[in-house]
Amino acid sequence: MKSGGERVSIIIPVFNKCEYTKQCIGSLYEKTSYPHYEVIVVDNNSTDETPAFLVWAQGEYGIRVIRNDRNLGFAKACNQAAAVAQGSLLLFLNNDTIAYPGWLEALLDVLRREPGVGIVGSKLLYPDGTIQHAGMVIADAPAPLSPGHVHRGRPQDFPPANVQRDFQAVTGACILVRRDVFEQVGGFDEVYVNDCEDVDLCFKVRQKGWRVVYTPKSVLIHFEAVSDGRFDRSGENLILLNRRWAGVVEPDYHWRLPKVSIVLLNYNGTRDTIECLKSLYGWAETEGPRPENGLYYRPFQVVIVDNASEPMALEELRAWLHASGLPYEISKPGAGENGTRPFRQGIVLLESGENLGFSGGCNVGIARALSSRADYVWILNNDTRVHPLALWKSVEFLMHARKSGVRVGAVGSKLCDYHNPDRVQFDGDRVWYGGKPMPQGPDTEKIGFKTYVSGASVLLARKALEECGGFDEAFFLYFEDNDLCLRFHNLGWRVAFHPRSIVYHKGGASIGDWIGSPLSIYYATRNFLLFQSKHGSVDLDVFRRLRAIVWSCMPKDRASVRAFLKGVEDFSSLRFGGIAPEVILEGWGVESKVHRDGIPHRVLHRLEEMLAKDPNALHALETLFQLALAAYGKITATGRRACHIHP
């Protein structure tokens, strides 16, 4: 402790990274000429050589050390040290900084000359001399309040960065605060974890009438974000900041972002669709839409394609839209299309007169999105609830990819179980319909390029859609997303998975769980074979994989067995598109002219009887597969095209 004069308590929270702490403390005692300061280091349970170094530094420099038995994070550690600090001024400093001569004196000079200033922040440079921090500005995107560093990456002599000025916030990596002001606002809010607590503190200080100032005369090197887990809770912290301050703090500037159309399909799932809309808009029963509680991205519009829902279900959706206070319009697919439509940030309800399936319905929504000049199209299941940052993370990645010259056509989301959010349904590699425990570790948070992503939540680039086309409507339901991803790959567009684009998914809202209902079994069976035929060849090995993927996992009641047989039979006869549930279950009846080239119905009926009695009758399955393969080969050899069936 230096003796005499006004005291400054320099507070440094640390967690491992001893090499940075050594150079930080060394630079303080080497470059700080102001004599009246103390250094308090809060060790958040470091497991490297930090504890031993701090013992040495106590003897060498006389620093004070607080040791915690667990990592309390930045806010709690700073408050902990502030409570025992002896100075009338508190300086909070990251351990990954190196002080320049005069750094502290420049901060003190601002407070001495301008008594209305409560917080003053420094100019921080990257090791290469470019600017890391020269004040913080608050943008209106992707969140209603989105803090960011102004002039980041500019040369250190960039003129606008070398002018002292007021900001709404400065970074907590190095800030000097009057102790009485810090105590007046209650210090750092400990609900934040390693992000946004500095911005929140600045907002609180300004709310009390104090100024927040940046000075370019105080300069330090800042390595930035070297601590483990630094950004683990950044999304949650931004949400909390917005829920507290949106509508109170005004953004500094408007950020123009790409336009996104969100396509939702509704088929007798009105309650799910309404819940999804509430999630997107942050809509509450008593308050209406609240952006700080909804999707943190503007601009977006929602295109709902209703796939011929029952009249009461459709009327319920119309009534909610009318009462919601949200801008909306109701139209028909393709109605009034004449090239382009204006992009409006509202809801478009397109009422189809028939059930077009997932693929056809999505294509209707995509067509409307592209006609309104949307830059991206977000295909989103209606039985979902979105994380506020879900869309922003995907758009941000596509923007960076485009700037880097990488052709990325699709970005898929991490799907978490709606009912058990700590369980994951899709992690970029596999689908678990019942969910599995959320994996932990840094590798689980890496963006990766994949062969496929789930169509339950996938952001598609306009240019990729224009080049590759939309979903193949022959599938109707299931495997159309796999097919689209492969077509993207074939034309040079990459497909990515973003683990921080998080969507909570119910699953099975339209036709039941995967291979849990006859309709699901039918489409899974037929479309697995269709997918294989489009992107490879179909042989007995493919049919045997079908047996492992579908037959071994599905129920073995008569309706399910019949659905499986019908799926194989329709594939072998090249009949695709939609099908009414009653057609699957009505039996094999009298063969029609259309069916004459397929498997004889009397044979299918016999196989149905055998498999219903004994699901383990593998010889019956082998017979089915042989017959299907022969029928498929016979039809394709004639060059006959596939025909579409309709529900």
CATH number at residue 357: 3.90.550.60
Is the same domain home to 283 and 404? yes
Q: Which two tokens stand for residue 214?
A: 């940046």
Is the same domain home to 164 and 274? no
Is the same domain home to 276 and 386? yes
Strands 423-426 and 408-417: antiparallel
User: How do residues 146-158 score in pLDDT, each as one tens digit?
Assistant: 999 999 999 999 9
Tell me if the pTM is above 0.75.
yes
Contact 66, 50 (CB under 8 A): no
Determine, yes or no, domain membership for 255: no
Q: Residue 48 maps to which CATH number?
A: 3.90.550.10
Predicted confidence band of residue 353 (pLDDT cuts 50, 70, 90): confident
Q: What is the DSSP letter of 253?
A: B
Determine, yes or no, domain membership for 512: no
Determine, yes or no, domain membership for 511: no
Cis ω for the linkage preceding 581 (within 30 of 0): no
Give the residue-averaged pLDDT of 216-239: 81
Between CA 269 and CA 510 the distance in angstroms is 7
Share of the chain above pLDDT 70, in %: 93
Is the pLDDT reported for residue 298 higher than 90? Answer: no
**Count of residues in the chain:** 647
Tokens 């002292």 belong to residue: 164
Is the same domain home to 501 and 359? yes
Is the same domain home to 101 and 191? yes
Last residue of a domain, one of 505, 533, 565: 505
Predicted confidence band of residue 4 (pLDDT cuts 50, 70, 90): very low
Domain count, the chain: 3
Determine, yes or no, domain membership for 254: no
Determine, yes or no, domain membership for 496: yes
Task: Give, in order, the Cα–Cα distances in Å from 254 to each of 139, 239, 248, 299.
Answer: 6, 19, 17, 11
> Which pLDDT belongs to residue 593?
44
Last residue of a domain, one of 193, 221, 245: 245
- Residue 358 neighbours by CB under 8 Å, 6+ apart: 265, 455, 471, 475, 476, 477, 478, 480
Between CA 181 and CA 178 the distance in angstroms is 5
Mean pLDDT estimate for the chain: 91
Is the same domain home to 195 and 286? no
Last residue of a domain, one of 441, 471, 505: 505
Tokens 């608050």 belong to residue: 138
Give the residue-averaged pLDDT of 107-121: 97
Is the same domain home to 501 and 546? no
Is the same domain home to 418 and 544? no
Is the same domain home to 235 and 266? no
- What is the DSSP code string of 106-155? HHHHHHHH-TTEEEEEEEEE-TTSBEEES-EEEESSSSSSEEEETTTTSB
Is the same domain home to 593 and 540? yes
Determine, yes or no, domain membership for 1: no
Determine, yes or no, domain membership for 253: no
Is the same domain home to 483 and 539? no
Structural domain harbouring 352:
260-505
SS3 at position 10 = strand
Is the same domain home to 325 and 435? yes
Helix axes 618-637, 558-572, angle to 10 degrees: 30
Share of the chain above pLDDT 90, in %: 77
Alpha helices in 510-617 (DSSP H): 518-535, 540-546, 558-572, 581-585, 601-613
Determine, yes or no, domain membership for 334: yes
SS3 at position 101 = coil
